[in-house]
Amino acid sequence: MDVSIAGAHGQIARRLARLLTERGDTVRGLIRNPAHVNDLRADGSEPVVIDIESASTAALAQAIDGTDAVVFAAGAGPGSGAERKLTVDRDGAIKMLDAAVHAGVTRYVIVSSIGTESPPDGDDVFSVYLRAKAEADAAVIQSDRDWTVVRPGSLTDDPGTGRARIQAKPIRDEVSRDDVAEVLAAVLAEPRSARLTLYVVAGDEPIAEALATLLP
């Protein structure tokens, strides 16, 4: 499989790229900062320098042309203000979705967050972030792509266990970035995970088995 990852220098994205390349997939990593090129190459992915915020839909479509799937793992990141939560986490995801349509890429996986199912109304940055993610998720879910929305719990840097709790109903708990990356890799390998919204937290069940229980 040939996979494009938007936000490819992010912590989950880099873990995912290593998992995919280790199993023989090809990864195209979309990054804004040219200084991150060597990091991506070290992960085994092919870097593509493009700014999702400023690039046109046509330019993004060209960047992902020929791939089998897009993973949107980009985000404004900690320390960014409310405005960039909207321009990256919401608008960037929707623009990348439009690019997938233009490029004929049918598979679209978005890394979301717990809390987007009922985002708060406040003006604080975290509330704006959750609303931005919720609006991006809604656009993806309403699209004609073979989408999967992955909503992990609170992220940790604990070593991965290869196990998780995956369910269709909201659940609040922690989960390691390693295990979220493994869930994303499993989702990409399983076409039946399309059109599912998955909540992911730490658990005792092997990830492949936990995912299989939700497949149609």
Instruction: Give the span between the Cα atoms of 108 and 202, in whole angstroms.
Output: 24
Q: Is 63 helix (H, G, I), strand (E, B) or coil?
A: helix
Catalytic residue selected from 129, 149, 178, 179:
129
User: Tokens representing 18?
Assistant: 């290593």
Residue 129 annotated among the catalytic residues of the structure: yes
CB 3 within 8 A of CB 21: no
Q: Is 175 helix (H, G, I), strand (E, B) or coil?
A: strand
φ and ψ of 14, to 5 deg: -65, -40
Q: How many other C-beta atoms lie within 10 A of the C-beta of residue 189?
A: 14
Instruction: Give the span between the Cα atoms of 82 and 211, in whole angstroms.
Output: 34
User: How large is the angle between the packed helices 57-64 and 91-103, nearest 10 degrees?
Assistant: 60
Reference 199, options 177, 180, 176, 185; nearest CA is: 180
Which residues 6+ apart lie within 8 Å of 56 measured at CB? none
Q: Which residues are catalytic?
A: 129
